[in-house]
Structure 1
Amino acid sequence: MIRKLLPLAFVITVIYSCKKDSVNPDMGEKDNTTFKIYENRFLDDLWKLDPDWATREGYHKYDSLLIVPDAKHRDAIINFTRKHLDSLSAYNATQLNDLNKIDHHLIQNQLEKMQWEVQQERAYEWDPTRYNIIGSFAYILNEHYAPLQDRLHHFYQKMENLPEYYKVAEKQIKNPAPELLNLAVNQLTGGVSVIEKDFADSLKKTKIPAEEQKQMLTRAELSAKTIKDFAAWLKALKNDKPRSFRLGKQLYDDKFKYDIQSAGSAQQLFNSAVDRSKYIHKEMAKLTIKLWPKYFGTTPMPADTMAMVRAMIDTISSKHVEPGEFQSAIEKQLPQLVNFIKAKNLLTLDPSKPLIVRKEPDYMAGVAGASVTSPGPYDKTGNTYFNVGSLSGWPAEKAESYLREYNQYTLQILCIHEAIPGHYTQLVYANKAPSLIKSVLGNGAMIEGWAVYSEQMMLEAGYGNNEPEMWLMWYKWNLRSVANTILDYAVHTGKVEKDAEVKFLVNNAFQQQAEAEGKWTRVTVSSVQLTSYYAGYKEIIDLRNDYKKMMGDKYSVKEFNEKFLSFGSVPVKYIREIMLAKPKVDEKKP
């Protein structure tokens, strides 16, 4: 799962403005040059509207601001979207060049999505995790984009509005979904140490006068207490008629449209995923038959194909690292991936961009066991973090189940997906994209889809020496993306319960019990995101196949990969239009 820090809701940090529309470009020819000027104005207004998002993207002009998310600020969101949709309508997208045309689509989608979030989704009422702002404070504290003393002053100033922020939050929460309420409590309780302890520890490293430090610590103590009190308030909240965590079909279809930006609908993707699962089952059966004598000798194969595949997976999965070696095993794996990519000439890698493997921070916990946090497009020298969930304190049985899921084969695939040449590599390319819009408004389906595609691309190039065990485990891993899509759609638009979900993942996707139960937690605290893996993967594979056919003998894996990544994190359907377009004929030439 990629944790490029994109806005999941636009209800937390906004700023109200009563100014006249200042973003309309001059009433001259609306060409590509003036459109780029408009983009800069759009972004400038956007960062004023949402300082937290700006901080996460590496734009630090407004780091010291924490905007109180009340009704007045939601009005500001609507005013902003109306104003910019009007400005955007002045440009005919068909008259712009290919790259600007994509930006036009992305801006329009974002503006319409923001309106929908405020007016239809209204998650600010039922999702308390929207009020977990600790990540923004952690970013200011931990990233080295400015001297520590300056960042601590911004941190201090940002805390000023924190009591009012949570006072407003309490007034706005109505009948929250219990699963999201519990997640918010856990994240706030675990993450408050950023303000309560880490801030104080950082102050000791500076030469800020003692009296000033005392004042800063006093505010930090009040802020920490405010967060703890809010978590306690959530925990004690009388919630007789809680909202279901399920979006329902209409909201789900709308969110899918805005978040995935696919060429098809959510229902069409669900149908495709069902078909893909049947294909994968057949391929896994073929590999199992081939491997059976190696692992089971003359023992008869079960008549039930699914039971046969399950037996093989269970046997192979017994080879895994020890609980305390999970993170170190990942660290050792990354250089091997780099060497393979260089040897096979699959992609140009940038060794100047650091990738740091770290324990997943507490304020991020509870959603995914492994993720990547990427620097924003304004922060070109920032670190990329490979966040690894800790197994510390887990019961032995649960840890064993988890490690069997991430056995010696799957752990390698995980590193491909999350790091090289998956998320980490793709996001390095994205930050070099020719426009900020493509990074700021990055498309999650393209990002996740690339990571899934990169796994297949590596194995096709011979990674793992074409061992049938590796391919079997990759099919199982690929089946996870497919099952994610089936599960997410079925749960949020239907009435699937936990027992049925766990049974489906264990029996049809061959997942371990711990993984299946963890996925239920994830599907109850997120929506649509789980479909992004298969949605992006399918569109990339379809594009690659069509591009390969078009290029014929001139096709090159490296050329395809680098050309695809060069457009940035944009919906695959727009990249497809450009890569498969026929060359334009210059009518002026004889």
Structure 2
Amino acid sequence: MIKKSILIAAIALSFFTACKKDGGVAPQFQKDSTAFVAYEDRFLEELWKHQPDWATQTGYHKYDSILIVPNADSRDKLLKFTRKQLDSLGNFEQNVLTDNNKIDYHLIENQMQYTQWQLQQEKAYEWDPSSYNVIGAFAFILNEKYEPLDHRLRSFYMKMANIPAYYKEAEKQLKNPVTELTDLAIEQHNGGVSVFESDFADSLKKTNIPQPEKQKMLERAKQSADAIKGYAAWLKSMKNDKPRSFRLGKELYQDKFKYEIQSASTPQQVFNAAMERKKYLHRDMAKYSKQLWPKYFGKAAMPTDTLELIGKMIDTLSSKHVQPDEFQSAISAQIPKLTAFVKSKDLLFIDPTKPLVVRKEPGYMAGVAGASVSSPGPYDKTGNTYFNVGSLSGWPAAKAESYLREYNQYILQILCIHEAIPGHYTQLVYANKAPSMIKSILGNGAMIEGWAVYTEQMMLENGYGNNEPEMWLMWDKWNLRSVCNTIVDYSVHTGTMTKEQVVKLLTHEAFQQQAEADNKWKRVSVTSVQLTSYYSGYKEIIDLRESYKKKMAEKYKLKDFNEKFLSYGSAPVKYISELMLKKK
């Protein structure tokens, strides 16, 4: 980082002082582009001072030992930082920046405006107890091997000093919090406190840190664990007669969608497209169900009701699934098979040097999604990518069976495409090679999720699953899940859609299991907008591929499209589209 900054400064100086023979200066294009790259470094350094936990998890470890106490003063400092950065951006003329720098400009501007909106309009710090959670950053320091263990543990120790003050301040900030988010915070804190109660002590045993120093560190870890459990207990016992509704409301939702999704469409337009997509998928699923009916039901009468027909076929196919204790191992077994298929079809390059580790979902991440990917930060390019898998241990038999019918042998493969290869894992590896740090750090969630959904379709289009109608039917069902995510999220947070209506939609029209529908209700009650990212990003990528195919005509190759698209990093699809469709 230091070497890069010195180099940029030297280049910038040469552009600013270089004169032509006629006395003119170097072109404005060169000056502003070089100056902007130097500005990006300054911006990130300042950002990390205000967001040290975020810095840690991107792989920038200068501020690992710092924990900022969340209060009015720290929010005011962050607000001043955003204003300063927006003023700085105003000094650059966008029309003379390079294409990649233009995207970075938009990403920084969007992030600063989003932060201002969060602090001044959304004010989740007053009603979301789960927004106060230190555990993830501490777990990252403990688990990632970016420095010698004793160095990381000393940073961990110094960072713990502010934990009691952090949670005392959290208690002061909260006013009539959302009940569902309160429950989530209790679950996550009680589930993750083992990082301080046992994991830290286990790591200390592996070091040569002197015993007196170890003792001090263990004492502080106990104080930290007590503060975390104390916060959970305080939340559980707090009087909250008039809790805020978990529904975001139409005005806040539209703003949050604008900043998070960064789509070329409005939330209403995406919702309308999702409703149309649902109709199309029902027609396609009916086609496959009619084709498969004789194979599984012989000469039995076929239901005349389309949704009943599809439901019966999916229910029959869903009985093929792994046992509860085989769920994680089955996922691990899929990874080499997917890699081999991508290579055999030459769909895009898979970097064999980047490790993917399948692991049980950590306790501090529990309660939102059953499977997810955690990638190394852009500064930690050699770090592990984790495929986090929720455990079914201790689940009642009926609940486990419902969950496994949802993630049957077909869906489990599609899940691994989405989360791992060539989905999230592959895209995030490419993102860490992107032409700027900004695109990796300020990555667009809709592009990231949209890519994962797009790859599911792409794999099947290229013969994954041997073109079996069973696999296509199940992918339609899975794609319907992304579509209904959008319908549910928009309808719940901008309207009055109830749990009963959500469950009916998901079980009756999206053919999901009861356990999955219940989990989706929980998820939509503790998140907002993020659920729309799957379909909105997917639709924009599919639309872009069709336009790019027309532009390239006979020169079009799928691998070229995939790798070119990923080369821009995790940028919003609308900006990637502008560059890929630009006339030369």
TM-score in terms of structure 1 length: 0.94
The residue number in structure 2 matching 1:519 is 520
Residue of structure 2 equivalent to 1:262: 263
* Bigger fraction of residues in helix: 2
Residues of 1 paired with 2:95 and 2:473: CA distance?
46
The equivalent residue for 1:190 is 191
Instruction: Give the deviation of 1:552 after TM superposition.
Output: 1.0
Q: What does residue range 290-329 of structure 1 map to in structure 2 within 5 Å? A: 290-329=291-330
**Identity, % of aligned positions:** 69
Correspondence for 1:6: none
Match of 2:343 in 1: 342
Aligned counterparts of 2:34 and 2:103: Cα–Cα separation in 1 = 15
Q: Deviations over 1:410-450 (max 9, x none)?
A: 00000000000000000000000010000000000000000
Q: Which secondary structure state, in structure 1, belongs to the residue aligned with residue 162 of structure 2? A: helix
Q: Please list the CA deviations of residues 109-155 of structure 1 after superposition, one character each: whole Å capped at 9, or x if unmatched.
A: 00000000000000001001111110000000000000000000000
What residue in structure 1 maps to residue 564 of structure 2? 563
SS class of match (2:452): helix
Aligned to 2:7: none
1:428 pairs with 2:432 = no
* Distance in 2 between residues matched to 1:504 and 1:459, nearest whole Å: 26
Aligned counterpart, 1:232: 233
Structure 1: 4+ residue segments shifted above 2 A: 25-30
Q: Which amino acid aligns with 2:317?
A: I
- Asked if 1:362 corresponds to 2:380, the answer is no
Match of 2:93 in 1: 92
1:406 corresponds to:
407
Q: Does 1:146 align with 2:128?
A: no
- The 2-side partners of 1:520 and 1:350 are apart by 37
CA shift, 1:77, in A, is 1.3
**In structure 1, what is the equivalent of residue 8 of structure 2?**
none
Deviation at 1:270, TM superposition (A): 0.3
Task: Give the 3-state SS of the residue equivalent to 1:371 in structure 2.
Answer: strand
Displacement of 1:94 in angstroms is 1.7
Distance in 1 between residues matched to 2:315 and 2:517, nearest whole Å: 15
Matched, 1:505 2:506: yes
In structure 1, distance between residues paired with 2:321 and 2:165: 49
**Which AA in structure 2 matches 1:124?**
Y
The C-alpha deviation readout for 1:468-501, integer Å capped at 9, x for no partner, is: 0000000000000000000000000011111111
- The question of 1:134 aligning with 2:132 is answered no
> Shift of residue 196 of structure 1?
1.1
Runs of 5+ unmatched residues, structure 1:
1-24, 584-590
CA-CA distance at 1:175 after TM superposition: 0.5
Q: Offset at 1:297?
A: 0.6
* Aligned residues: CA RMSD: 1.0
Kindly provide the amino acid, as one letter, of the partner of residue 56 in structure 1: Q
Q: What's the secondary structure of 1:372's corresponding residue?
A: strand
Residue 394 (str. 1) matches residue 401 (str. 2): no
Q: Report the Cα distance in structure 2 between the residues aligned to 1:273 and 1:77, rounded to whole angstroms.
A: 37
**What amino acid maps onto 2:439 in structure 1?**
K
Aligned equivalents of 1:131, 1:87: Cα separation in 2: 30
Say if 2:32 and 2:93, in contact at 8 Å, map to a contact too.
no
Cα offset, 1:66, TM superposition: 0.2
Report the secondary structure of 1:379's partner residue. coil
Distance 2:490 2:351 in 1: 37
What secondary structure, in the 3-state scheme, does the structure 2 residue paired with 1:129 have?
Answer: helix
> How far apart, in 2, do the equivalents of 1:139 and 1:580 lie?
40
Pairwise mapping of residues 207-286 of structure 1 onto structure 2 (< 5 A)? 207-286=208-287
- Matched residue pairs, number? 559
Q: Distance in 1 between the 2:158 and 2:297 partners?
A: 65
The 8 Å contact of residues 481 and 510 in structure 2, kept in 1 or not, is answered as: yes
Instruction: Please name the residue that 1:332 is paired with.
Output: 333
Match of 2:206? 205
- 1:478-557 to 2 correspondences below 5 Å: 478-557=479-558
For 2:289 and 2:162, how far apart are their aligned partners in 1? 60
The CA deviation at 1:92 is 1.4
Look up the match of 1:378.
Answer: 379
Amino acid at match of 1:98: D
Alignment of 1:447-486 (within 5 A): 447-486=448-487
Distance in 1 of aligned mates of 2:395 and 2:455: 31
Whole-Å separation in 1 of the counterparts to 2:85 and 2:71: 22
> 3-state SS of the aligned residue for 2:475?
helix
- Equivalent position SS for 1:385: strand
C-alpha distance in 2 between matches for 1:542 and 1:489 = 22
Counterpart AA for 1:571? P
Report the Cα distance in structure 1 between the residues aligned to 2:140 and 2:484, rounded to whole angstroms: 33
- Supply the distance in 1 between the matched residues of 2:406 and 2:293 (Cα, whole angstroms): 20
SS of structure 2 residue aligned to 1:434: coil
Q: Deviations over 1:184-218 (max 9, x none)?
A: 00100110000111001111110111111011111
Letter in 2 for 1:267: Q
Q: CA deviation at 1:179?
A: 0.3
Distance, in Å, in 2 between the alignment partners of 1:199 and 1:452 is 37
CA distance in 2, matches of 1:132, 1:80: 23
Provide the residue aligned with 1:20 in structure 2: none
Residue type of the alignment partner of 1:186: E
Q: Deviations over 1:37-84 (max 9, x none)?
A: 000000010011110000000000000000001101111111001111
- Alignment-derived partner of residue 440 in structure 1: 441
Matches of 1:439 and 1:216, distance apart in 2: 34
Q: Is there any run of 5+ residues in structure 2 with no aligned partner, and where?
A: 1-11, 17-27
Deviation, structure 1 residue 93? 1.2
Matches of 1:105 and 1:196 in 2, distance apart?
43
Query: Which residue matches 1:73?
Result: 74
Q: Deviations over 1:297-342 (max 9, x none)?
A: 1111111000000000000110000110000000001100011011
In 2, Cα distance between equivalents of 1:107 and 1:369: 31
The residue aligned with 1:38 is 39
Q: How many Å separate the matches in 2 of 1:465 and 1:257? A: 40
Write the distance in 2 (CA, Å) between the matches of 1:507 and 1:478. 15
| SS of residue in 1 equivalent to 2:372 | strand
SS in 2 for 1:216: helix
1:168 matched to which residue of 2?
Answer: 169
SS at match of 2:147: coil
Q: Which moved more, 1:362-371 or 1:29-38?
A: 29-38
Q: 1:539 deviation in Å?
A: 0.1
SS where residue 31 of structure 1 aligns?
helix
Aligned to 1:5: none
> Counterpart of 2:455 in structure 1: which amino acid?
S
Aligned equivalents of 2:381 and 2:408: distance in 1?
A: 35
> 2:577 maps to which residue?
576
